C-alpha cells in the first residue's frame, strides 16, 4: 500500500509521523487475570501489550492466548476458547487484514475488529469497532531521519491492515478516512508501532 491507499483526516494530514506525538497507552495484558472488561462500543481503539514467555524447545511462542483472552473480555464470551477468530487471507487480494472475532455459535455480540503484531518477546493487540491495523518498524540507525523512516513504514503497514476483508479492491479504499496514532510499547523502546483504524465502518 502506498500513500494514496488511504485518506487521512485533514486535521492530521501527515498522520503525525513527521512530528512529535504522544503515544496511545497500551497497558500490559496479564494472562493469569480474568479477561479485562472493555466497554462497547469501543469509541476509538483498545490496545494491550503482551510479553511473550519463552516456551520449551520445539514450540513457537504464541500470542494467540493473549489475543483470545482479550477478545473474550470484549465480546463477553464465557471462555477465551469460545471466541471464533476470522483472520484468514482476504478473498480479493490474499492479504491478511481487517480481521474480526465473534463469540462461538453466532452469539449476540457484535463482532469486533482486531489486529496483532509481534516483535521479539513483545506482542501488541488492537481492537476497534471498525477495521484496524498495526504496523511495527525498527529504526535503521539513530537520529531523526531514521525515526521518521520507521514511523512511515509502521504507518503504511498499519494502513494496509485497516482495510476491511473483501472490499479492498479499488476504488473502495480510496475515500475511506483513517486515524493514525502511535503505541506506547514499554518493553521495546527502540521500535515504532503504529495503529490505524477507520473513522467509520464502510459497507
pLDDT higher than threshold 80 for residue 57 = no
Greater confidence, 79 or 59?
79
Peptide bond into 38 cis (omega under 30): no
Which residue would you say has higher pLDDT here, 10 or 188? 188
DSSP per-residue string spanning 41-84: S-SS-EEEEEEPPP--TT----SHHHHHHHHHHHHT-SSGGGEE
Pick from 137, 139, 126, 138: nearest CA to 179: 126
108 pLDDT tier (thresholds 50, 70, 90): low
pLDDT band at 56 (very low <50, low <70, confident <90, very high): low
**In whole numbers, what is the pLDDT of the chain averaged over residues?**
77
Report the pLDDT averaged over residues 67-89: 86
Average confidence (pLDDT) over 134-141: 89
Q: Could you check whether the bond before residue 134 is cis, i.e. omega within 30 degrees of 0? A: no
Of residues 166 and 56, the one with the higher pLDDT is 166
Among left, alpha and beta (phi > 0; psi -120 to 50; other), residue 106 is left
* pLDDT winner (highest mean) among 33-47, 48-62, 165-179: 33-47
Q: 61 pLDDT exceeds 80?
A: no
Which of 52-56, 89-93, 107-111 is predicted with the least confidence, judged by mean pLDDT? 52-56
Per-residue pLDDT of 35-49, as tens digits, reads: 888 888 998 899 999
| DSSP state letters, 133-178 | EEEEE--SSSSHHHHHHHHHHHHHHHHHHTSPSSTTSTTTTTT-BE
What is the reported pLDDT for 203? 53
Q: Greater confidence, 191 or 105?
A: 191
Amino acid at each position: 500500500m502506498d500513500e494514496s491507499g488511504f485518506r487521512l483526516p485533514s486535521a492530521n494530514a501527515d498522520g503525525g509521523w513527521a512530528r512529535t506525538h504522544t503515544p496511545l497507552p497500551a497497558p500490559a495484558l496479564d494472562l493469569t487475570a480474568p479477561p479485562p472488561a472493555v466497554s462497547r462500543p469501543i469509541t476509538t481503539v483498545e490496545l494491550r501489550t503482551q510479553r511473550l514467555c519463552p516456551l520449551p524447545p520445539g514450540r513457537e511462542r504464541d500470542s494467540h492466548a493473549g489475543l483470545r483472552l482479550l477478545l473474550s473480555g470484549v465480546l463477553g464470551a464465557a471462555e477465551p476458547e469460545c471466541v471464533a477468530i476470522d483472520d484468514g487471507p482476504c478473498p480479493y487480494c490474499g492479504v491478511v487484514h481487517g480481521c474480526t472475532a465473534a463469540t462461538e455459535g453466532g452469539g449476540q455480540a457484535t463482532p469486533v475488529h482486531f489486529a496483532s503484531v509481534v516483535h521479539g518477546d513483545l506482542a501488541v493487540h488492537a481492537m476497534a469497532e471498525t477495521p484496524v491495523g498495526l504496523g511495527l518498524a525498527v529504526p535503521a540507525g539513530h537520529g531523526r531521519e531514521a525515526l521518521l523512516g520507521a514511523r512511515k513504514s509502521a504507518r503504511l503497514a498499519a494502513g494496509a491492515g485497516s482495510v476491511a476483508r473483501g472490499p479492498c479492491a479499488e476504488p473502495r479504499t480510496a475515500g475511506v478516512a483513517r486515524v493514525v496514532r502511535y503505541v506506547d510499547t514499554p518493553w521495546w523502546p527502540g521500535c515504532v508501532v503504529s495503529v490505524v483504524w477507520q473513522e467509520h465502518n464502510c459497507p
